[in-house]
């Protein structure tokens, strides 16, 4: 049988991408709003993970929580803490991000490995840290309590996988909120945990949530990195947009040819996220997200 013409491959790919776009829900004006008061509390906990133990005590006590455990894993230098509120029967786990995001993002391993404990493909380094944290937390977790998990940057990536561990082991994961978090799994992994209440808060100029960058030409590959949960994009003033699935992934394409700059790094800082979130506690507006992505330019055509 004769080989199929070379042009058939991009044509089939174009049709596949078009199918995905037509079958992905676009942001609607009637979409459920975001509770920025709840997000603000978890943002403070995520920020506290960078502080000393005394400062962490102060932050958690202001929210009527008690610090139960604070530890740094020697091998990976990932720090985390657990706080408990006995009145609301809630526990919060916060995981610290990296102190040197530039070097970490440059050296990040792109390989996904099937995790036997969770049953999905994960970033091996993040998964290893999450497993260590889960092992240390287990004696202090209360099965009857709700658990909220948070983290910033690479701490957010570990937080997502830790939540997967908790969910797999039948703990009551109430909410996961991350800030500036890179991707951790593929499309199948994201699909398996779509039932979880996951919010990824991002700033438009923060490139870390787009890592590893998305190549639309690779969409047919089920092993490409894929975000899980709802993305909340903090726009100008009090506006914000929400995206999920393929719509969220398309955000990465507009940055694929741009080099990192000081603005990107400043927008990634947890202090910048705190300011953006605090501005929305009193007033916020859900607006549509617009992108300059063009399907017709996938193959280099003008």
C-alpha distances out from residue 36 to 31, 228, 239, 277, Å: 15, 20, 12, 7
pLDDT score of 51: 96
Share of the chain above pLDDT 90, in %: 58
- Split at pLDDT 50, 70, 90, the class of 75 is confident
Work out the average pLDDT over 125-132: 92
Q: Which of 275, 274, 232 is nearest to 48 (CA)?
A: 274
Q: Which of 149, 140, 137 is nearest to 92 (CA)?
A: 149
Work out the average pLDDT over 283-300: 66
- Residue 91 burial by Cβ neighbours in a 10 Å radius (0-12, 13-18, 19+): buried
pTM of structure: 0.84
Q: β-strands 198-202, 225-226: how paired?
A: unpaired
- Split at pLDDT 50, 70, 90, the class of 262 is confident
How many Å apart are CA 220 and CA 206, to the nearest integer? 27
Work out the average pLDDT over 66-90: 94
Query: Residue 14: is its pLDDT beyond 50?
Result: no
How many Å apart are CA 257 and CA 236, to the nearest integer? 24
Per residue in 81-95, pLDDT tens? 999 999 999 999 999
Work out the average pLDDT over 22-50: 75
- Split at pLDDT 50, 70, 90, the class of 99 is low
Domains defined for the chain, CATH in brackets: 41-289 (3.40.50.1820)
How many Å apart are CA 10 and CA 7, to the nearest integer? 6
pLDDT score of 248: 83
């Amino acid at each position: 049988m004769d080989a199929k013409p070379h042009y058939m491959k991009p044509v089939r790919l174009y049709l596949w991408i078009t199918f995905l776009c037509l079958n992905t829900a676009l942001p609607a004006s009637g979409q459920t709003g975001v509770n920025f008061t709840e997000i603000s509390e978890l943002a403070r906990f995520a920020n506290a993970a960078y502080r000393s133990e005394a400062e962490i005590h102060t932050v958690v006590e202001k929210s009527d929580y008690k610090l139960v455990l604070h530890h740094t894993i020697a091998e990976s230098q990932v720090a985390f803490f657990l706080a408990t509120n006995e009145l609301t029967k809630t526990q919060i786990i916060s995981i610290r991000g990296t102190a040197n995001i530039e070097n970490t993002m440059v050296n990040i391993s792109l390989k996904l490995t099937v995790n036997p404990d969770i049953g999905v493909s994960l970033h091996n380094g993040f998964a290893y840290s999450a497993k260590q944290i889960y092992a240390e937390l287990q004696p202090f977790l209360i099965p009857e309590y709700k658990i909220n998990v948070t983290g910033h940057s690479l701490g957010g990536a570990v937080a997502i996988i830790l939540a997967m561990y908790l969910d797999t082991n039948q703990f009551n994961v109430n909410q996961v909120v991350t800030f500036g978090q890179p991707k951790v799994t593929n499309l199948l992994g994201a699909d398996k945990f779509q039932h979880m209440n996951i919010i990824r808060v991002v700033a438009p100029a923060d490139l870390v949530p787009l890592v590893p960058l998305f190549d639309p030409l690779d969409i047919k590959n089920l092993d490409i990195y894929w975000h899980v949960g709802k993305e909340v994009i903090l726009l100008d003033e009090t506006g914000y947009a929400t995206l999920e699935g393929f719509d969220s992934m398309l955000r990465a394409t507009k940055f694929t040819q741009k080099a990192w700059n000081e603005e990107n790094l400043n927008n990634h800082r947890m202090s910048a996220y705190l300011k953006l979130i605090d501005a929305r506690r009193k007033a916020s507006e859900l607006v549509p997200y617009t992108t300059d992505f063009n399907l017709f330019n996938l193959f280099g055509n003008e």
